[in-house]
Structure 1
Amino acid sequence: MTVVHPNQRVAVLVDSQNLYHSAHSLYSRNIDYSALLEEAVGGRELVRAIAYVIRADSPEEESFFEALIDIGFETKIKDIKTFGDGSKKADWDVGMSLDAVTLASHVDTVVLCTGDGDFSRLCSHLRHQGVRVEVMALGPSTAEELIEATDSFVDLTDREETFLL
């Protein structure tokens, strides 16, 4: 990843659900969030690191949430919603987007860790506001429109030994 300058202020926003499902469907492995954060910051000044997570009442999730905090992430937790027909839904797209827009005036770069194409419009908006936008995700499950909307794309599959546990 190219560092524009070391004094650059960076916010790292991680769509944990998206990365989890991508890593599991492609590799049956988990993301190394410590390596992810280190690469995302890239020697620059970290302003905020937020991991957006879903509480699905699985046994290991509380220790995962604690591990994220130990690494240096703030966690924003949303409970999964179960509808009358049994379907489940939970995502952080609006929350992540609002945080990115709010943080834009306080940072030089926003690093989005997601492959979700719904964020391509956000990337365009942030770039229009003069914010550098970098995306880190697993290439095979990253939307083409998201890659095209960023200043820089890091494909985690290029260095799976670094980014996957």
Structure 2
Amino acid sequence: MTRSETHGTQRVAVLADSQNLYHTARSLHERNIDYAELLDAAVDGRSLTRAIAYVIKANAPEEESFFDALVDIGFETRIKEIRTFGDGSKKADWDVGMSLDAVSLAEHIDAVALCTGDGDFTRLCRHLQHEGVRVDVIAFEESTAEDLIAAADGFIDLGSDPDRFLL
């Protein structure tokens, strides 16, 4: 029996840390994420409640078409501008935003798919489980924090099937 047969009635939210996925896919495989396949694997026959992609606006030439493609696939996009500091350093991440959305959604879902390898989400994972929410992590195993993998109820390694998950 597959997971989709046993959990077909679950309501799932998919939260994708696009910055983390992009940089990992580029550095490990020199390819991009196939977000349609990512969403399909994350939902896995369950009832999709929300799919949110957290993206950084860096004024790159292709980013608007990428944001549009995410919406066409079925993701809501949360867009944050990259911040440049006086010393020239840049920062942009969605850790707090993703965490707040996950906690806010917890009472409305049975499962969440965290699409990130960032170990900062380990505590969130445990909190959601304490609230009765199943947590699946979807990322590249070789760059995902071991603590996050250990804390999750399920893990999908995007690197295990690059022909499916990468463009």
Aligned partner of 1:65: which letter?
A: F
Task: Give the C-alpha shift of residue 143 in structure 1.
Answer: 0.5
The equivalent residue for 1:48 is 50
Task: Give the C-alpha shift of residue 122 in structure 1.
Answer: 0.2
1:1-150 → structure 2 map (5 Å cutoff)? 2-3=3-4, 4-150=6-152
Runs of at least 5 residues in structure 2 that lack an aligned partner in the other structure: none
Between the aligned partners of 2:56 and 2:93, the Cα distance in structure 1 is 7
1:5-42 per-position Cα deviation (integer Å, ceiling 9, x unaligned): 21110000000000000000101100000000011001
Between the aligned partners of 2:74 and 2:7, the Cα distance in structure 1 is 22
Report the TM-score when normalising by structure 1.
0.98
Between the aligned partners of 2:19 and 2:42, the Cα distance in structure 1 is 18
Instruction: Say which SS state the counterpart of residue 55 (structure 2) adopts.
Output: strand
1:64-112 per-position Cα deviation (integer Å, ceiling 9, x unaligned): 0000000000000000000000000000000000000000000000000
Task: Give the C-alpha shift of residue 51 in structure 1.
Answer: 0.1
Between the aligned partners of 1:2 and 1:62, the Cα distance in structure 2 is 35
Between the aligned partners of 1:17 and 1:161, the Cα distance in structure 2 is 21
Instruction: Say which SS state the counterpart of residue 105 (structure 1) adopts.
Output: helix
Amino-acid identity (%): 69
Report the TM-score when normalising by structure 2.
0.97
Instruction: Say which SS state the counterpart of residue 51 (structure 1) adopts.
Output: strand
Instruction: Say which SS state the counterpart of residue 66 (structure 2) adopts.
Output: helix
Between the aligned partners of 1:122 and 1:20, the Cα distance in structure 2 is 22
Runs of at least 5 residues in structure 1 that lack an aligned partner in the other structure: none
After superposing on structure 2, the runs of 4+ consecutive aligned residues of structure 1 that deviate more than 3 Å are none
Between the aligned partners of 2:109 and 2:151, the Cα distance in structure 1 is 18
Structural RMSD (CA): 0.8
Instruction: Say which SS state the counterpart of residue 24 (structure 1) adopts.
Output: helix
